């Protein structure tokens, strides 16, 4: 008898940025910018960034970590600038599972508020994902100034 499969969960993080909604949104799709913060770690080196920023287009972000390449790949499902971006995420080195990410951005009087929802997340990775996305969003804030 096999062990029961744990249902996937969703992780939600909310962050405010001083930058305008359009600038925050564009940072997710601009190849020159995205490789500096998305899936970037303090000790890794970005090897490859490919972005085909259209619905149905794909992305590949590869960072070398401790001598090994870690590839993050996915497909863009929704692009509604500057409000909403949805895309899939797979990290083949660790799993063949494909997660879904939704980025929603609401303009504020000064800056904007971003809500990131990571869907289809295996419960065992919930806290690791929360810490990872926190680090990634900190990196975005740093890049935006």
Predicted pLDDT of residue 2: 45
Could you read off the pLDDT of 17-27 as tens digits, one per residue? Answer: 999 999 999 99
Domain ranges, ordered by start, for the chain: 9-144
Mean pLDDT of the chain, nearest integer: 93
CA distance 85 to 139: 18
Confidence of residue 121 (pLDDT cuts 50, 70, 90): confident
Q: What are phi and psi of 91, to 5 degrees?
A: -120, 85
Third-level CATH fold of 9-144: Alpha-D-Glucose-1,6-Bisphosphate; Chain A, domain 4 (3.30.530)
Q: Give the predicted TM-score (pTM) of the model.
A: 0.91
């Amino acid at each position: 008898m096999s062990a029961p499969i744990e249902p996937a969960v969703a992780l939600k993080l909310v962050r405010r940025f001083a930058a305008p909604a359009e600038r925050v949104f564009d940072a997710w799709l601009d190849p020159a910018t995205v490789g500096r913060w998305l899936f970037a770690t303090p000790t890794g080196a970005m090897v490859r960034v490919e972005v085909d920023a259209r619905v149905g287009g794909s992305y590949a972000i590869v960072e070398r970590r401790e001598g090994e390449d870690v590839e993050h790949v996915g497909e863009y499902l929704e692009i509604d600038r500057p409000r909403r971006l949805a895309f899939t995420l797979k990290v083949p080195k660790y799993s063949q599972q494909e997660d879904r990410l939704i980025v929603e951005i609401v303009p504020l009087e000064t800056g904007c508020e971003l809500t990131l929802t990571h869907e289809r997340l295996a419960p065992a990775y919930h806290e690791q994902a929360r810490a990872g996305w926190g680090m990634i969003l900190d990196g975005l804030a740093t890049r935006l100034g």
